Amino acid sequence: MTAAMSWSDWANYTTATAPGLALIAWFGRVLWRKIRHELEPNSGTSLRDAVDRIETMVTETQHELEKHISYHKGQESQQ
pLDDT at residue number 2: 60
Phi, psi values for residue 42, rounded to 5°: -140, -135
Alpha-carbon distance values, 73 to 14, 56, 61, 64 (Å): 76, 26, 18, 14
The ranges assigned to domains in the chain are 43-79
pLDDT band at 1 (very low <50, low <70, confident <90, very high): very low
Q: What is the pLDDT of residues 20-78, one digit of tens each?
A: 899 999 999 999 999 998 999 988 889 999 999 999 999 999 999 999 999 988 877 66
The answer to whether residue 79 scores a pLDDT higher than 70 is no
pTM for this entry: 0.58
